């Protein structure tokens, strides 16, 4: 396979897992086991000086109406579809403290509240003298075609196999989309966005973080518009890619292309930026970065092989 090096490549940085840090204490929100209903597959807490951990979980059922989720400062969100016409929401709680009784008491202060289609997670605000840590994850099963507004502060959001109308925002955390469809508008402020085998009408924006896009042979839907302000961009293309793609960068960003489709690509270079197009039709997939390098590669190849 011929390698086309368009410009020297800048360093790429991606975030697929999200962490909430607190000195020596941190929680891991796992976006790779999003199909699991087991809380321990999604959130774990580690602490050097808070050795005792306690866990609890709670499940609520909500009517199929537009749902707004405002997660706490220590909460991740995982969503998947199911075949029922209602929402199921499980909250997974974990707390760490010096003693088991302190950890158990802390769990009782972490509340899941719902009112008029708005779901919130609230927990104790930690001050300098407090010696404990806590985190939560919401596991949401959503009806097909439902409407959701998802917000997380220190935690990630993942959607797997979801066909819905979704708005999602993270302040300090990544967003993972796998096999999603419908109309989605997602934004990560300090964290990367990963998109794999998706379709529909999808808009993705990153302020500080990378973009990773793995495309299927065809984009089924209106299209994709994905961009990052400060981060790298990797686009992976399957062997029999049949859609059309436009990748753009600012004038100072590097670009490297290694994929069968790259050999027939069209380049537009000027002082304002660089555009690389694959496919003869009007592009339905748009991906860009302002301050970061770009790699276009064949699916199944590691970046180190380019």
Non-local (6+) Cβ contacts of 272 within 8 A are: 251
pLDDT 10s digits, 61-118: 999 999 999 987 789 999 999 999 999 999 999 999 989 999 999 999 999 999 999 9
pLDDT for 212 beyond 90: yes
Which tokens hold the place of 161? 């196999």
The residue among 271 and 24 whose pLDDT is bigger is 271
Q: Considering only 154-163, 186-195, 201-210, 296-305, which range has the smallest mean pLDDT?
A: 296-305
Non-local (6+) Cβ contacts of 166 within 8 A are: 79, 147, 148, 149, 150, 159, 180, 182, 183, 184, 185, 186
The residue among 204 and 52 whose pLDDT is bigger is 204
Distance CA 22, CA 27 (A): 9
Question: What single-letter DSSP state applies at residue 8?
Answer: P
CB 296 within 8 A of CB 274: no
Length of the chain: 306
Q: What is the mean pLDDT of residues 13-35?
A: 46
CB 121 within 8 A of CB 72: yes
pTM: 0.87
Q: Considering only 153-162, 166-175, 229-238, 255-264, which range has the smallest mean pLDDT?
A: 255-264
CB 201 within 8 A of CB 179: no
The residue among 55 and 262 whose pLDDT is bigger is 55
């Amino acid at each position: 396979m011929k390698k086309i090096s368009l410009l020297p490549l800048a360093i790429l940085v991606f975030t697929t897992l999200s962490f909430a840090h607190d000195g020596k204490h941190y929680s891991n929100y796992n976006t790779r086991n999003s199909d699991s209903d087991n809380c321990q597959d999604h959130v774990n807490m580690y602490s050097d000086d808070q050795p005792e951990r306690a866990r609890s979980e709670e499940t609520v059922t909500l009517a199929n109406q537009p749902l707004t989720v405002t997660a706490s400062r220590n909460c991740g969100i995982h969503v998947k579809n199911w075949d029922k016409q209602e929402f199921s929401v499980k909250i997974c709680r974990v707390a760490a403290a010096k003693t088991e009784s302190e950890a158990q008491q802390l769990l009782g202060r972490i509340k899941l509240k719902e009112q008029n289609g708005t779901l919130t997670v609230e927990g104790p605000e930690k001050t300098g003298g407090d010696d404990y840590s806590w985190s939560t994850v919401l596991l949401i099963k959503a009806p097909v075609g439902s409407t959701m507004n998802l917000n997380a502060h220190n935690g990630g959001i993942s959607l797997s196999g979801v066909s819905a109308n979704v708005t999602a925002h993270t302040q300090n955390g990544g967003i993972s989309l796998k096999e999603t469809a419908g109309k989605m508008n997602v934004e990560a402020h300090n964290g990367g966005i990963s998109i794999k085998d998706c379709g529909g009408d999808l808009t993705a924006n990153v302020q500080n973080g990378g973009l990773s896009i793995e495309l299927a042979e065809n984009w089924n839907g209106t299209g994709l518009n994905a961009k990052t302000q400060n981060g790298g961009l990797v686009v992976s293309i399957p062997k029999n890619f049949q859609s059309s793609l436009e990748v753009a960068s600012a004038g100072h960003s590097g670009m490297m292309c290694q994929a069968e489709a790259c050999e027939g690509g069209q380049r537009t270079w000027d002082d304002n930026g660089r555009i690389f197009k694959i496919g003869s039709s009007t592009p339905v997939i748009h991906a860009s970065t302002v301050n970061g390098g770009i790699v276009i590669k064949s699916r199944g190849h590691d970046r180190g092989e380019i």
